[in-house]
Amino acid sequence: MELSVIIPVYNEEKSVADLIAAVDMSLADIDFELILVNDRSTDDTLKNAIEKKNANVKIISFDKNYGQSTAIKAGIDHASGRIIAIIDGDMQNDPADLLALYQLLKAGHADMIQGYRKNRHDSLTKKIPSTVANQLIRSAFHCDLHDVGCSVKVFDRKLIPSLIYFNGFHRYLALIAHIKGFKVMETIVGHHPRMNGQSKYGIERLIPVCKHLYLLKTDPDRLSESIDYNIEATY
C-alpha cells in the first residue's frame, strides 16, 4: 500500500459522503486506503459513511467518544501505507490538496509536508489561540512554521516510532517531527468556511496549548502516555 489517509469523524453526517468522494477524486491514480475513524458519532455519520463505502475505504467505529487524538492514533495503528496522510472530516480542509502534499513528499522535499491555512475561514475564538501558539512555536523552537495546528499533513511512516503520543498530540505533529530532527516543509492549502456541523474547539484551548508547548520545550518525554481505545466494529 502506497498511501494511508486517516480521517477522524464525529457528527459529520452532512459531510462524510462528500468527503469520501473528494478523497477518491484527489487520489484516483494512487494506491491508497482511506481510514475513517468514527469517534462514536451520535448522528448518522456512521450510517452515511457505510452507504458511501467502497473498496478503498476502511471504517473503524469506537465504542465511545475518545477524542481526536485517540481517533488519529487508531488510524495510525491500523494504517498499512508507506506514507501517511491526515485531514479533518469537516470539509473545511480541501481533500484536493492531498495529492500536492503527497507529491512534495515523494519528491524528497521533506519528511513531513504540513499544510498552511494562509487564508483561514474560522472565528476569532479559533484563530486567536492558534496565532498565539504559532508565534510561541516560532520563537521558542526556532522553526519557521506558521500553522502547526493545520490538520492537513503527509509524512513518511518512518516518523511513527519517534512521535510523542498524548491527549492533544495531533495538534503538534509537525512540531514533534521538528523536535525529533525530521525535516518539515510547510505549503499553502485551501480552507473553507464550515458549512455543516459544529466546531469542537474554541478559545478554551489556549491554556492546555501553552502547557503542552512548555513541556515540549523543557521535557517532551514527560508528555508521553498510553492512548487506549476499544473498537466496537470495523467495516
Written as nine digits, the cell of 131 is: 496565532
Q: What's the pLDDT score for residue 120?
A: 80
| 3-234: CATH architecture | Alpha-Beta Complex (3.90)
- Domains of the chain, residue spans: 3-234
Residues of the chain with pLDDT under 70: 121-125, 127-128, 194-205
Q: What's the pLDDT score for residue 199?
A: 53
Return d(Cα 216, Cα 222) in angstroms, integer: 8
Return d(Cα 28, Cα 32) in angstroms, integer: 9
Return d(Cα 227, Cα 74) in angstroms, integer: 9
